Amino acid sequence: MADRLIIFDTTLRDGEQSPGATMNLPEKIRMAEQLEKLGVDVIEAGFAASSPGDFESVNRIAATIKTATVASLARCNREDIFRAWQAVQVAAHPRLHVFLATSPLHMRHKLEKTPEQVLESIATEVSYAASLCPDVEFSAEDASRSEPDFLVRAFDTAMAAGASTLNIPDTVGYALPEEFAGLVRYIMERVRQDKKVIFSVHCHNDLGLATANSLAAVRAGARQVEGTVSGIGERAGNACIEEVTMTLRVREDYYNCLPGIVTEQIYPTCRMLSHIIGQPIPLNKPVSGDNAFAHEAGIHQDGVMKKRETYEIMSAEAIGRSSNLIVLGKHSGRSALRRKLEDMGYSLADRDVDVVFAAVKELADRKEEIFDEDVEALVLEKVYRVPDHYVLLGLQVQSGNASLQPTAAVSMEARGRRVQKAAFGAGPVDAAFNAVCSALKRRPKLESYLVNAVTGGMDALGEVTVRISENGLSAVGRGAHVDIIQASALAMVNALNRLTKKEEEER
Ligand code: KIV
Ligand code: ZN
């Protein structure tokens, strides 16, 4: 019988620290619900003391999630721990995650504390956390660059003070697999385990070793792995949950340790995150990338057709990638759509199913075949858009050349008022953006522009993602349409709506 590995997901905390990966409250709640469906054991919902916004999202997620444990990060001080407890105490299964650095470098230069003072803080503050919450995790920040014997003392202290999970972070992605496994073994052999404790690891990916280090630690006896969906996170990111999970499944013969992840939810979860943060899944990303199950070489194609296992070590279905069958057509009914949505990981209210149904029907008039990805794009467009201050009512674009500049005219609703504007541009997309911005009297900087065909085929939906910034704030926007200039304008309007929402929250 395989051992059970606890998966601690920190997509909403460490993951959100990844450049450009900020999420708003409804997006965080949606992501947390999906993480629960994915079967992660612990959801680190945020760092409650870091801002009122973080406090609110930790608190709302704690109130929403039913089966998974919900954790808040806290520095090793009274105020942070109290704030974290205020935020998570409503959870069915709350956890306080207290951290303090233990490496000479961090203690001397960052904390300006002696090792003895660090041990003292751990003893007092972890006890305080344990007096509030029955489930306390202690992390020794920068463990991989700490003195192993000092780490043992720090963990002994944390355990005696009431921590039941002891986390060994490779905070700066410095460790190597064999060395890290050795450190985990060293600690596990020496920490006094008067009661049951779980040893955990938290690896960063600065040298591309986060997954390898986490797996080496599992082999050494760690029974909790911390990571994120798609490996997003601070700097080069964190250990990638889907890579860790599928390695443990595919090589169960070697590890004999399995997480409770519902693997069929992996791909829907990666897609949802990618849509929310506006960052595409890289084509060659292990497990979830589009090329992960694509076979280009003739010999490989021939082999896979004869027996899939010749060149595939796992099936696309196992991670929840359907074979992209046509799902719906002009004559499909509401219940077929609802079933499809549920298979894709979306449980929508009746009213939202009706909205998507109408959009699918409309699309079916313009597009012969409707795939999962089309439906998903419509769900994101029609159901999950933030409530709009600005609405694009009409767009007319004329392309041009050197002697006749491209032009665009828009008709928009801006906070209930009707506005019309026309503008020139370097190209039709630029002209559309200029017309939208001029109608709304905004001057954002376009940081990135990405266009993607949602499915194959000449009539595919075009999905545009833009990132804009203005006055120190940035926002991602998306738009999907069979016409990519319309999709671009919708993406810009969506980004401006989100930016406006952020500005209002900042005030
Ligand atoms: O990387 C790190 O050390 C962390 C801790 C707070 C666990 O994120
Ligand atoms: Zn981290």
Kindly give the number of the ligand 1 atom that is closest to the alpha carbon of 139.
7
Q: Which of 14, 47, 105 most suits a substitution to test ligand 1, by most atoms within 8 Å of the C-beta? A: 14
Q: Which of 73, 145, 172, 225 most suits a substitution to test ligand 1, by most atoms within 8 Å of the C-beta? A: 73
Question: Coil, strand or helix: which one is 174?
Answer: coil
| Residue 34 CA to ligand 1 centre (angstroms) | 23
Listed residue (426, 419, 431) closest to 394, CA to CA: 419
End-to-end CA distance of the chain: 55
pTM, entire model: 0.85
Ligand lying nearest the CA atom of residue 47: 1
| Residue 453 CA to ligand 2 centre (angstroms) | 34
CB 256 within 8 A of CB 223: no
Place domain 390-506 in its CATH homologous superfamily. Answer: Alpha-isopropylmalate synthase LeuA, regulatory domain (3.30.160.270)
DSSP letter for 403, please: T
Calculate mean pLDDT across residues 147-170.
98
Q: Is the pLDDT of residue 326 over 70?
A: no
Q: What residue spans define the domains of the chain? A: 3-277, 322-382, 390-506
| Residue 347 CA to ligand 2 centre (angstroms) | 31
Joined together, the tokens standing for residue 68 give 């998974």
**Which pLDDT score, from 0 to 100, does residue 124 have?**
98
**Which pLDDT score, from 0 to 100, does residue 20 have?**
78
- What is the rounded distance in angstroms from the CA atom of residue 462 to the CA atom of residue 488? 9
| Residue 273 CA to ligand 2 centre (angstroms) | 19
- What is the rounded distance in angstroms from the CA atom of residue 11 to the CA atom of residue 241? 10
Q: Is the pLDDT of residue 189 over 90?
A: yes
**Which pLDDT score, from 0 to 100, does residue 366 have?**
79
- What is the rounded distance in angstroms from the CA atom of residue 21 to the CA atom of residue 27? 11
Ligand lying nearest the CA atom of residue 102: 1
Q: Which of 202, 225, 228 most suits a substitution to test ligand 1, by most atoms within 8 Å of the C-beta? A: 202
- What is the rounded distance in angstroms from the CA atom of residue 62 to the CA atom of residue 48? 11
Kindly give the number of the ligand 1 atom that is closest to the alpha carbon of 99.
6
| Residue 204 CA to ligand 2 centre (angstroms) | 6
Amino acid at 488: S
Kindly give the number of the ligand 1 atom that is closest to the alpha carbon of 141.
3
The predicted-structure confidence for 450-489, as pLDDT tens digits, reads as follows 898 877 677 778 889 999 999 888 888 888 888 999 999 9
Band (pLDDT 50/70/90 cuts) for residue 66 is very high
Q: Which residues line ligand 1 (CB under 6 A)?
A: 14, 73, 99, 139, 141, 169, 171, 202, 204
Calculate mean pLDDT across residues 222-235.
97
Q: Which long-range contacts (CB under 8 A, 24 or more apart) does 477-482 make?
A: 477/278, 478/275, 478/278, 478/380, 478/381, 479/381, 480/377, 480/378, 480/380, 480/381, 480/454, 482/363, 482/366, 482/367
Band (pLDDT 50/70/90 cuts) for residue 442 is very high
Lowest-pLDDT range of 10-19, 122-131, 198-207: 10-19
Joined together, the tokens standing for residue 292 give 């992960």
**For the chain, what is the largest distance between any 2 Cα atoms, rounded to a whole number of angstroms?**
82
Q: Is the pLDDT of residue 325 over 60?
A: no
Residue given tokens 């990060």 in the structure block:
73
Band (pLDDT 50/70/90 cuts) for residue 161 is very high
User: Cα-Cα-Cα-Cα dihedral of 33, 38, 39, 40, to 10°?
Assistant: -80
- For 23-71, the DSSP string reads --HHHHHHHHHHHHHHT-SEEEEE-GGG-HHHHHHHHHHHHH-SSSEEE
Report the helix count and the strand count for the chain, using DSSP H and E. Answer: 17, 15
Backbone angles phi, psi at 504, to 5 degrees: -65, -40
| Residue 135 CA to ligand 2 centre (angstroms) | 20
3-277 and 390-506: identical CATH topology = no
In this structure, which residue's CA is closest to atom 1 in ligand 1?
171
Ligand lying nearest the CA atom of residue 100: 1
| Residue 227 CA to ligand 2 centre (angstroms) | 9
Q: Is the pLDDT of residue 506 over 90?
A: no
Joined together, the tokens standing for residue 148 give 């192993």
Indicate the CATH number for domain 3-277.
Answer: 3.20.20.70
Kindly give the number of the ligand 1 atom that is closest to the alpha carbon of 172.
1
Where would I find the H helices in 133-263? 148-160, 177-190, 210-220, 241-250, 252-255
| Other CB atoms within 10 Å distance of the CB of residue 282 | 13
In this structure, which residue's CA is closest to atom 6 in ligand 1?
99
| Residue 73 CA to ligand 1 centre (angstroms) | 9
Ligand lying nearest the CA atom of residue 232: 2
Calculate mean pLDDT across residues 143-165.
98
The predicted-structure confidence for 213-222, as pLDDT tens digits, reads as follows 999 999 999 9
- What is the rounded distance in angstroms from the CA atom of residue 190 to the CA atom of residue 222? 14
Ligand lying nearest the CA atom of residue 171: 1
Report the run of H or E that residue 226 belongs to, with start and end: strand 224-227
Calculate mean pLDDT across residues 75-96.
98
Calculate mean pLDDT across residues 24-51.
96
Q: List for the chain the helix, strand, coil content (%; round to 5).
A: 45, 20, 30
C-alpha 446, offset from chain centre: 23
- What is the rounded distance in angstroms from the CA atom of residue 130 to the CA atom of residue 466? 45
- What is the rounded distance in angstroms from the CA atom of residue 505 to the CA atom of residue 355? 28
**Category of 382 on φ-ψ map: left (φ > 0), alpha (ψ -120 to 50) or beta:** alpha
Joined together, the tokens standing for residue 28 give 């965080």
In percent, the amount of the chain with pLDDT more than 90 equals 70
Q: Which of 50, 99, 170 most suits a substitution to test ligand 1, by most atoms within 8 Å of the C-beta? A: 99
Joined together, the tokens standing for residue 86 give 């205020």
Residue given tokens 């929310």 in the structure block:
276
Band (pLDDT 50/70/90 cuts) for residue 418 is very high
| Residue 196 CA to ligand 1 centre (angstroms) | 23
| Residue 247 CA to ligand 2 centre (angstroms) | 21
- What is the rounded distance in angstroms from the CA atom of residue 144 to the CA atom of residue 218? 16
Per the prediction, the chain carries an average pLDDT of 92
